[in-house]
């Protein structure tokens, strides 16, 4: 069933809700994370103190992190370099090549890696197609770049369809519930 590729395994309000304990319970040792509207707003150049603290907490607990973004090298490097976090830019998600490159950087089996992102059509679909555990987060900004606005229109239709089918209760107070695929 094609639509299952768009369903995340889990959904949480924010990356800050993804703790080392949460990951260890699922035997996850690495994270492939999106940047724009997942970690920070798409137009915020640097990490917030909360994101910096989250990254440091992951490292302190032995969780490896790599950023995979469809954005430019200039944008992703400026964000990732101060955090000393590896990255893949111009990723062309949902295509699998960037996910394979990130997995190579993490040097972990894919069963030990989660993909985290705010978009069903790029992050979740790409992560699921590549065989990763996927976690959808609420976008940190209400605004988006041009291409993302188009994706959001399609996502809203998917969310409504999933909700009608009882597959994805994306409402306030219901997040954080695992979905078995």
Give the CATH number for residue 74. Answer: 3.40.50.1000
Q: 174 lies in a domain?
A: no
Q: 177 lies in a domain?
A: no
Q: 121 lies in a domain?
A: yes
Query: For residue range 21-54, what is the model confidence (pLDDT) as tens digits?
Result: 999 999 999 999 999 999 998 888 899 999 999 9
* Least confident range of 20-34, 78-92, 95-109, 130-144: 130-144
Q: For residue 178, is pLDDT > 50?
A: no
Q: For residue 67, is pLDDT > 60?
A: yes
Q: 181 lies in a domain?
A: no
CA separation for the pair 87, 68 (Å, rounded): 6
pTM of the model: 0.84
Domain count, the chain: 1
Looking at residue 170, its pLDDT comes to: 53
Is 28 in contact with 62 (CB distance < 8 Å)? no
Q: 170 lies in a domain?
A: no
Range of the structural domain that residue 44 is part of:
2-164
Q: 118 lies in a domain?
A: yes
Q: 171 lies in a domain?
A: no
The Cα-based distances of 171 to 14, 29, 69, 87, 147 in angstroms read 14, 29, 27, 32, 25
Q: 53 lies in a domain?
A: yes
């Amino acid at each position: 069933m094609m639509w299952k590729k768009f369903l995340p395994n889990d959904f949480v309000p924010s990356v800050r809700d993804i703790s080392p304990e949460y990951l260890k319970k699922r035997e996850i040792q690495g994270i492939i994370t999106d940047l724009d509207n997942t970690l920070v707003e798409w137009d915020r150049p640097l990490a917030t103190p909360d994101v910096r603290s989250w990254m440091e907490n992951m490292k302190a607990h032995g969780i490896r992190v790599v950023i995979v973004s469809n954005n430019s090298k200039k944008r992703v490097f400026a964000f990732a370099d101060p955090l000393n976090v590896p990255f893949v830019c111009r990723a062309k998600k949902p295509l699998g090549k960037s996910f394979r490159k990130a997995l190579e950087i993490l040097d972990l089996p894919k069963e030990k890696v989660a993909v985290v992102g705010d978009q069903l059509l790029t992050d979740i679909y790409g992560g699921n197609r590549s065989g990763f555990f996927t976690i959808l987060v609420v976008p940190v900004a209400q605004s988006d770049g041009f291409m993302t606005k188009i994706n959001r229109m399609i996502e809203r239709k998917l969310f409504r369809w999933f909700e009608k089918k009882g597959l994805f209760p994306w409402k306030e107070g219901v997040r954080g519930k695992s979905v078995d695929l």
